[in-house]
Structure 1
Amino acid sequence: MSLPERDTRQSIVDTAERFFRDIGYQKTTVADIAKSLRMSPANVYRFFDSKKSINEAVLARFKGELEESLSLIIAEQRSAGSRLREMLLTAHRINQARFADQHRMQEMVCAAMEESWDAILGHIERFDALLGRVIAEGIANGEFRALDPVAATQCIRTAMLRFQHPLLMAQCERIPGPTAEEMIDFIMAALEQPKAEN
């Protein structure tokens, strides 16, 4: 793909995201996006074959930014526990900043889950791979208990769901429960080797 084509694709995604935030995914049309960019809808369709594929691109950018942040934490030279704790907090904070009180963006993610489940599954697989890598390191170096790293990863993802899923983040605010930090403390306590008694 040439640089001008990449720039045009990026402009379409930027514009779509702005419309999704301002008026919502359902109300946004390809014609709206095209008009804002002074393009014809047919020209937009040269780059994206449907509104669904534009939504997937917006979502992929969001998820890519999150995955990149987690990858940078993994690369740091420190304990598995401190990296895992920061990864979970970072995932929560990024999602909170992006989706808290953003009902229209929550709508976009829900549409992606209904229309583009494969895109969501791809992100979950990559997210699990990142968490699993740090968990496996912690198990291998004796920092964490001898657990199945795949099962541990899935349990942690499930435990953190209310702090990362856009709809659950909004709905669970009204349900008594732990803070993200308290849940992460609980997860870390479940993973860590018990302290030797004197």
Structure 2
Amino acid sequence: MSGATEAVATRDADARARDTDTRARIVATAERLFREIGFQKTTVADIARDLRMSPANVYRFFGSKAEIHVAVARHLMGEAEAAAQAIASGPGSASDRLRALVLGNEQMNASRYLADRKMHEMVEAALEQHWPVISEHIDRLDAIYESVVASGMESGEFAKGDPRLAARLVHLSCIRFCHPRLMVEYADRPEPTSAQMIEFCLAALRAGVEA
């Protein structure tokens, strides 16, 4: 690679890094403002003003306010997926990791969405409007659950079977403990608890799940 070509490549890499950093700052600022004044009330002008840039510059990175909404949702869900993946890849039996997955997801969503009404409104909109990011998030979590169930089947901790089906059954059985809307609707129904439900699911996994 010639010196001139290398210099161009370096400039391009630096420009991409700056763009990535700017996008991240826009998303972080939008998330904070959503929490403070609500995602519907927050305007692109508000975000730009907080970042000391023009709205036109924000639109250079996001084509619309809706794209910013999705980026914030993807960031929040990405953090949940990373936490779940860390549990799934961590130490402990498959049963212990499944317990930690369900309880950890419940605690994270409760602190993020139940205790923060403004962020809960954004999640409600995402669910009602069927944002693709929601389905993608569920698919990623299904895959994480499947990896834990498969490891339990391989070790003999769980009965042999279809790990994909078994994982989806477990995830769906425990959905009311992590789904923001269902967490609100069932708040006044203390039982079954998430701990009781996961023990029920673990008993089913040990006994075997018929396809």
TM-score normalised according to structure 2 size: 0.84
Name the residue aligned to 1:150: 164
**2:78 corresponds to 1:84:** no
Which shows bigger deviation, 153-162 or 170-179? 170-179
Q: Judge conservation of contact 1:142–1:193 (CA < 8 Å) in 2.
A: no
Q: Tell me the CA shift for residue 128 of structure 1.
A: 0.4
Q: Which structure is larger by alpha-carbon Rg, 1 or 2?
A: 2
SS in 2 for 1:107: helix
Name the residue aligned to 2:10: none
CA deviation string 1:12-67 (max 9, x = no partner): 11111111111211111111111221221111100111111111111111111111
Name the residue aligned to 1:120: 134
**2:203 corresponds to 1:189:** yes
Q: Which amino acid aligns with 2:161?
A: L
User: Which of structures 1 and 2 has the larger relative contact order (alpha carbons within 8 angstroms, sep 6+)?
Assistant: 1
Q: Tell me the CA shift for residue 171 of structure 1.
A: 1.8
TM-score normalised according to structure 1 size: 0.89
Q: 1:84 to 1:34 in 2, by over 3 A?
A: same
Give the 5 Å matches for 1:12-91. Answer: 12-91=26-105
CA deviation string 1:70-125 (max 9, x = no partner): 22222224321111111111111111121122221111112223446221111111
SS in 2 for 1:46: helix
Which shows bigger deviation, 12-21 or 144-153? 144-153
Q: Tell me the CA shift for residue 193 of structure 1.
A: 4.3
Q: Judge conservation of contact 1:73–1:87 (CA < 8 Å) in 2.
A: yes
CA deviation string 1:170-189 (max 9, x = no partner): 22102353222222222222
Name the residue aligned to 1:106: 120
Q: Judge conservation of contact 1:56–1:116 (CA < 8 Å) in 2.
A: no
Q: Which amino acid aligns with 1:12?
A: I
Q: Which amino acid aligns with 1:25?
A: F
Name the residue aligned to 1:137: 151
Q: Which amino acid aligns with 2:85?
A: S
CA RMSD of aligned residues (A): 1.8
> Distance in 2 between the 1:58 and 1:84 partners?
27
SS in 1 for 2:32: helix
Q: Judge conservation of contact 1:52–1:115 (CA < 8 Å) in 2.
A: no
Q: Judge conservation of contact 2:99–2:195 (CA < 8 Å) in 1.
A: no
Q: Which amino acid aligns with 2:160?
A: A
> Distance in 2 between the 1:15 and 1:142 partners?
47
Q: Judge conservation of contact 1:67–1:127 (CA < 8 Å) in 2.
A: yes
| Unaligned residue ranges in structure 2 (runs of 5+) | 1-14
